[in-house]
Amino acid sequence: MLTATQPQIVNEINYSAIKEKQRTTWGSGDYGRIGVTLQITGEQMCESLDVKSGESVLDVAAGNGNATLAAARRFCHVVSTDYVETLLEQSKLRAEAEGLEIDYQFADAEALPFADDTFDNVVSTFGVMFAPNQVQSAAELIRVCKPNGKIGLVNWTPEGFVGQLFKLIGSYVAPPVGVKSPALWGTRTFIDEQFEPHASEITYRVKEFNFRFCSPQHWIDLFRTYYGPVHKAFAALDEQQAANLESDIHQLIGRFNRSQGEAIVVPSEYLEIVVQKR
């Protein structure tokens, strides 16, 4: 018990410093080389949301634009945001190639620069789940969505391949102190806690995305080169540790791989969520 002369010590999390490191991480490598392979998840999300042409859509932590482009292809008015400028530039190039008109804005998922009740639809595919202040970022999604609007999320589950990959990486490179696992966004418990008080309905669908690569080594080489969190993890390790991590990833791929040949098909479970705001 504290006495009158013993001050209570509060360990505050420096989210600004954490986000700056995250920006560096996601800006390293070339995420777009990996991100484009996930395009189908953005398309499926727009179908699950049942977006209508002419509706407004905000894509939060949009990365290289999978959900952004999917909504624009359905003739929605899309605002695409991220706090990594190089990823927004990649998305712009994709949109220009298709002749799509999209409003791109640099923005932090934890402090969105939009008024309350602005958008018909607010979406994020494998994006907002990585914001360190999870409660704040969830509150921002709710705030900018119109009453009776929809929030659509696609998040890796803790049990799936990518969730287990991040758990494995965390055993080699410790995450920032006080920051909870992004895979919490792939659980019904977390989503219910954040969104149920503001929702008339929440729909959950457990789905799988199949990573299709030429071999386990092909997957490792591309992710080690282009996928920021894996790229940075290997860079932080010495030669022996890096070799151990590579061996462990090989085993993880082997555990999930459902292909019998040299080419791999690795299903990774994710949770697709549609929140109907009150």
Higher pLDDT, 160 or 5: 160
Residues 6+ apart with CB under 8 A from 270: 41, 126, 154, 155, 156, 157, 160, 162, 186, 206, 207, 208, 209
CA-wise closest residue to 207 among 152, 140, 132: 152
> Given this model, what pLDDT does residue 12 score?
82
pLDDT confidence band for 5 (50 / 70 / 90) = very low
Share of the chain above pLDDT 70, in %: 96
Percent helix / strand / coil, the chain, rounded to 5 = 50, 25, 30
Domains of the chain: 17-210+269-277 (3.40.50.150)
> Where residue 86 falls among pLDDT bands split at 50, 70, 90?
very high
| pLDDT tens digit sequence for 210-222 | 999 999 999 999 9
Nearest-angstrom CA–CA distance, 60 and 112 = 9
Above 60 in pLDDT, residue 8?
no
Answer yes or no: is pLDDT of 270 > 70. yes
Residue 85 has pLDDT above 80, yes or no: yes
Is 133's pLDDT higher than 60?
yes
Q: What is the mean pLDDT of the chain?
A: 95
The amino acid at 269 = E
Per-residue pLDDT, 176:
87
268 beta partners: 209
Band of the pLDDT at 11, cuts 50, 70, 90?
low
Res 162 pLDDT > 90 = yes
Mean pLDDT of the region 155-167: 98
